[in-house]
Structure 1
Amino acid sequence: MTQNWGMTIPFYDRSLARSQELIAELPALGYTDVWSAEVNGTDGFVPLALAAQWAPETRLGSAIVPVSTRGPGLLAMSAATLADLAPGRFVLGIGSSSPAIVERWNAVPFAKPYARTRDTLRFLKKALAGEKVSEAYETFEIKGFKLERAPKTPPKIVLAALRPRMLRLAAEEADGAITNWLSPGDVRKVRAELGQDTELIARLFVCVSEDTAKVREMARWMLASYLTVPAYAAFHDWLGRGEALRGLHEAWAAGDRQTALKAVPDEVIDDLIVHGDAATCRARIQQYVDNGLDTPVLAPIPGGEVSIDQAVRDLAPKA
């Protein structure tokens, strides 16, 4: 598989409105992909629509859009719009998301996440191919939906997948898998479940800084807020970090956030956050690739000794 090299957009230190110049620079630096996200900042589609114009050489991907916060038909419409803007260059990344995002922030029940993701995938494959869909799935029923303008080139669909069941679904029915918060060594375990022929994409958080203590302190809240989400807790149990993270989970469940932050082991931070000078970071990213990662999607974190602009340039394939 051709080696891809992705960048997360927008950048963490600026708004989408201020991102045009650096996004436009990415192809010349050797970046092949730009990938959005959707949590509580920008939505997953608008940054890609703009990047389709600002950096027309790049592949565009969403990592990820939740399957429960939009109706299936609306999700198909949004995907079709991007596929029309960037024929053959848009990849729709979908996933179950989390109870906080789905229920607490969007007032939608977070029910049967695996089944909802599977059903949405199956619906989207038909809808984006231009079919009229009337079907009762396990988690929803569609009655007579057909895109007014189906894309000439249906987008590939990839799934957020952390553990064996979802990874197998990605391998069997989707075009790839997206994962997050893992070490280079963890890639081997994920790849073993996914197989060798399915694209594996992962967002890698990078801080170009030689101040290890500062990076660890900054990273504790990021890690604590993610690794206490049930899906990520189960993921790291599966990866073998259950005991190392026991103190974090116990303090978090008790509502003691300060103790929870202190309980995140340094070795876990060093496993999951890429940090050091630019050369060290590039070597670490290469370890992910060597272990089976097809598409590293870099997410430079502010706070290092160099600016985000310089980090993007220093970490580029052509640096």
Structure 2
Amino acid sequence: MFRPQLPPERLREVVRTADAAGLEELWLWEDCFLESGIATAAAALAWSERLRVGVGLLPVPLRNVALTSMEAATLHRLFPGRVALGVGHGVQAWMGQVGARVESPLTLLREHLTAMRALLAGERVTVDGRYVKLDGVALDWPPATAPSVLAGATGPRSLRLTGEAADGTILDAAVPPDGVRKARGLIDEGRTAAGRTGRHEIVVYLHTATGPGAEGRLGAELERSGGASTPGLGVAGDAGTVAKAVQRLVEAGAHTVVLQPTADEPDPEGFVRFVAEEVRPLVPRLP
């Protein structure tokens, strides 16, 4: 993960390092008031040849669904097979700070997901929802194949919603392996209720630190994020130790594990090489 606590001008070197090292995926955030997810994703995709770039996540209260879908469609057409976009509630305090907080974030996310998936599938959409209102809107340049739309979630109702209305779920770094199992159960409840079948990608972030002072940096990160008292959260150590932590999340139901460096990671490019060259070979590939 390229954390937006780094200035945007650092992204190019991290991307080039990731591409050269053979890293499979690089993930980005759109946190207020740091960096745009779409702008950074477009740059990362353009600066790389094979890297899959994920954005987790775009806060829907900030975004008209037509605009989000236009941006998503453009990226998917320019870089087919290399884009993963997630949407979500956003941090409610931040949404209030910019005058975008809504009374029912769950309703907004459901309406946004339904409309966005339809638009990206090339449909003409008319809807008069509580928050999403479209009158005969269709994308002139939809992707050649309807892409997956992921959604971030934490609470039970939101997790069930991602099973119902999204193609995958993003879980943040506050979720240990036991939490992934519980989340997977709630997601499956939503999928069953909606009659959804097929693959539903589970993306999980993992607090990760390596090198000198790793345990101290991880501990400070967990304190800042409020996760210091959660058993099994985060990992600090060498490649073998990190790979075992990744595998525990995979066994709990994750398909993609994104290693999230600490905000004060002293060598972001070195962290990317560590993940690609030392950790990845120790983790079996999912079928």
Query: Is the pair's TM-score, using the shorter chain for normalization, greater than 0.5?
Result: yes
Corresponding residue of 2:218: 215
Paired residue for 1:311, among 271, 274, 278? Answer: 271
SS for the counterpart of 1:315 is helix
CA–CA separation in structure 2 for the residues paired with 1:186 and 1:142: 37
Which of 83, 94, 99 is equivalent to 1:90? 83
Structure 1 residues 214, 92: CA separation in 2 closer, same or farther (over 3 Å shift)?
A: closer
CA distance in 2, matches of 1:52, 1:282: 27
The reply to whether residue 284 of structure 1 matches residue 245 of structure 2 is: yes
| Corresponding residue number in structure 2 for 1:171 | 163
Q: Runs of 4 or more off by more than 3 Å in structure 1?
A: 27-30, 209-215
- Structure 2 CA distance for partners of 1:20 and 1:210, relative to 1, 3 Å: closer
Which segments of 5 or more consecutive residues in structure 1 lack a partner in the other structure? 1-7, 225-263
CA-to-aligned-CA distance 1:203-223 (integer Å, 9 cap, x gap) = 2221225643453234312x1
Q: Aligned-pair distance for 1:291? A: 1.9
Post-superposition offset of 1:273: 2.6
Percent of aligned positions that are identical: 28
Higher mean C-alpha displacement, 95-104 vs 190-199: 190-199
Question: Does residue 123 of the first structure (1) align with residue 125 of the second (2)?
Answer: no
Partner of 1:50: 43
Which of 63, 87, 108 is the matching residue for 1:70?
A: 63
Matches of 2:269 and 2:133, distance apart in 1: 46
Alignment partner of 1:20 is 2:22: no
Task: Give the drift of 1:92.
Answer: 2.1
Distance 2:38 2:212 in 1: 35
Partner residue of 2:285?
Answer: none
Is the CA contact (8 Å cut-off) linking 1:210 and 1:277 kept in structure 2? Answer: no
- TM-score when scaled to structure 2? 0.83
Against the structure 1 CA distance between its residues 190 and 210, is the aligned structure 2 distance closer, same or farther, given a 3 Å change threshold?
A: farther
Q: What are the within-5 Å matches in structure 2 for residues 129-278 of structure 1?
A: 129-180=121-172, 181-195=174-188, 197-209=199-211, 211=213, 212-221=215-224, 223-224=225-226, 266-268=228-230, 271-278=232-239
Deviations 1:9-36 (A, max 9, x none): 3565x42322223312324534222222
Going from structure 1 to structure 2, the CA distance change for 1:302 and 1:66 (only over 3 Å counts) comes to closer
User: Taking structure 1 as reference, are residues 157 and 314 closer, same or farther at Cα in structure 2, changes over 3 Å only?
Assistant: same
TM-score, normalised to structure 1's length? 0.75
Q: Is the 8 A contact 1:63 1:178 kept in 2?
A: yes
Comparing 76-85 with 191-200, greater Cα deviation is found at 191-200
Q: Quick check: 1:182–1:272 contact (8 Å CA) kept in 2? A: yes
Q: Are 1:79 and 2:72 an aligned pair?
A: yes
- Tell me, in whole angstroms, the C-alpha distance in 2 between the residues paired with 1:92 and 1:76: 10
Give the greater-gyration-radius structure (CA).
Answer: 1
CA contact (8 A) 1:210 1:276 kept: no
Aligned CA RMSD, in angstroms, stands at: 2.4
Report the counterpart of residue 243 of structure 1 in structure 2.
none
Task: Report SS of the residue matched to 1:155.
Answer: coil
SS in 2 for 1:177: strand
- CA separation of 1:138 and 1:209: change in aligned 2, threshold 3 A: same
**Corresponding residue pairs, total:** 267
CA distance in 1, matches of 2:217, 2:43: 34
Q: What is the alpha-carbon distance in structure 1 between the residues aligned to residue 61 and residue 110 of structure 2?
A: 12
Classify the secondary structure of the residue corresponding to 1:200: strand
Query: Which residue pairs with 1:109 in the alignment?
Result: 101
The alignment partner of 2:163 has SS state of helix
